[in-house]
Amino acid sequence: MTERGEDWQSSWAEGARRQVAAAAIGPRTRVVGRVEEIGDGIAMISGLPGARLDELLAFSDGRFGFAQVLEEDRVGCVLLDDIAGIEAGDIVSGTGDVVRVPVGEGLLGRVVDPLGRPLDGKGPIAADTHKPIERAAPAIVERAAVTRPVQTGILVLDTLFALGRGQRELIIGDRATGKSTVAIDAIISQKASDIISVYVAIGQKSASVRRAIDAIRKHGVPERTIIVVASPSDAPGLQWIAPFAGVTIAEYFRDRGQHALVVLDDLSKHAATHREIALLTRQSPGREAYPGDVFYLHARLLERAAMLSDEMGGGSLTALPVAETDAGNLSAYIPTNLISITDGQIVLDIRLFNEGQKPAVDVGTSVSRVGGKTQAHALREAAETMRLDYAQFLELEMFTRFGGLTDQRVKARLARGARIRAILSQRPYHPFRLVEEVALVTAVQAGLTDGLPAERLGELRGAVATGIDRAAPEAVRQIEADGTLDEAGRTALRGALSAMIAQIAADTERAAAP
């Protein structure tokens, strides 16, 4: 052997000795558990004494679940996928991590499941990072006052129950009263704002989810909307994490100083899923068979909605949770919990819906605890007495059902109230701009529509939408600039509205002429 070959062999041997010396030689321990029971999306696991609450657990076939219940000798694991193929005796190991969801601008315009897996057939998600679905809510010192508006484009809400950035406003009502439509209208209206929307469908029928997606794509700005879907056929664990995943996705934008709106549709079904999981894991049932922590479940979720201070970036996260009542019973367990957690509620009434008043908002029981502090100044001035006038009209209308009234003042108030009700009616998926809302409210409250039949007010809505920019350009410019309107602008706006109403009245007379 040559000298060069001997040197190479010596060098190789020395390198091998260093690798052997550095190798971790010795026994290795791996804690694994085994599935004892499996069924209905729940696995009871033994042999994992060190498992932590909410820890992500890995099954031998690559599927995952999270630890929901920790008993002395067993762990109650909620699966995130179908249980088919998992059997008693299968090996389970802890990961030391929690459930995370992809976040980032790569999700904009996409439809995903609560784990961030694409459902729209557009390829994989380009995520910036992954965040835990459970995160602490911002502290009090990290928050700022809720003073900036969220324009929903729904006249009855923006006028009477203003919504602010960072607020939590509950949408509640019986089945099929338009709750989802109100929430989707709020998302569609953000096409004229800088707010990014996240719509979370929890246990909704596929047809309902499809209608929501189609409405957002047709009328809204889908490229600034993220849709998270957990269908009724998905595993209970996937439905359970859906609202938490949606809020985490929205928080990514809030924490960057942007503004986000998250719709949780709906939390009644989420509470039912929580109850199902609790009963299957043998937790003690309480009122209506819900476990004792159901209040904390939604409180820790909705507390994450906030308006951050300037020091924290000034971003905001606004939450619109949806809840369903049975026969209008607002005093049921889940509705009362959610009402006490949120900053107000929009109550939809089945009677109003059946009478054709849409959105079917019950003005008497709805409330926004933030109130007019977030309203645009021009709209607040125009609608200053509108809620009181409408409430008095509803009370007078109820009394007039028992007999006629001859007092002219009462008749005038009833006529004005009927026009308020007519102007508050609105087609779904056609939100108003702020300037249109100011114009319509001004027309009614200033008495400009008193000579116009209430059934012709629909024509006024159309005329305002198509002609207000041309008829009162300076007023439109002021309102769009900062939400205010000076005296000259108000005069110009009233003049333009008077001309529109006169034209509608003239058309009505010509149509009635023989």
Q: Please list the active-site residues.
A: 369
Q: Residue 197 and residue 235: Cα distance in Å, rounded? A: 25
Q: Residue 325: name the closest of 177, 168, 206, 169 by CA.
A: 177
Q: Residue 78: name the closest of 311, 234, 306 by CA.
A: 234
Q: What three-state secondary structure class fits 467?
A: helix
Expressed in angstroms, the distance from the first to the final Cα of the chain is: 122
CA angle 400, 352, 449 (to 5 degrees): 65
Contact, 99 vs 54, CB < 8 A?
yes
Q: Residue 468 and residue 493: Cα distance in Å, rounded? A: 8
CA angle 490, 491, 494 (to 5 degrees): 85
Q: What three-state secondary structure class fits 286?
A: coil
Q: Residue 11 and residue 143: Cα distance in Å, rounded? A: 64
Q: Residue 204: name the closest of 258, 151, 268, 116 by CA.
A: 268
- Within 13 Å of residue 365, how many CA atoms lie on the same side as its CB? 16
Chain position carrying tokens 């476990």 = 291
- How big is the chain by its Cα radius of gyration, in Å? 29
Q: Residue 63 and residue 52: Cα distance in Å, rounded? A: 18
Query: Alpha carbon 326 to chain centroid distance?
Result: 21
Contact, 45 vs 34, CB < 8 A?
yes
Beta strand 316-324 with 170-173 is parallel
Query: Alpha carbon 2 to chain centroid distance?
Result: 78
Contact, 195 vs 81, CB < 8 A?
no
Q: Residue 177 and residue 181: Cα distance in Å, rounded? A: 9
Cβ-based neighbour number of residue 333 at 10 Å = 15
Cβ-based neighbour number of residue 179 at 10 Å = 25
Q: Residue 70 and residue 297: Cα distance in Å, rounded? A: 17
Cis peptide preceding 431, ω within 30 of 0: no
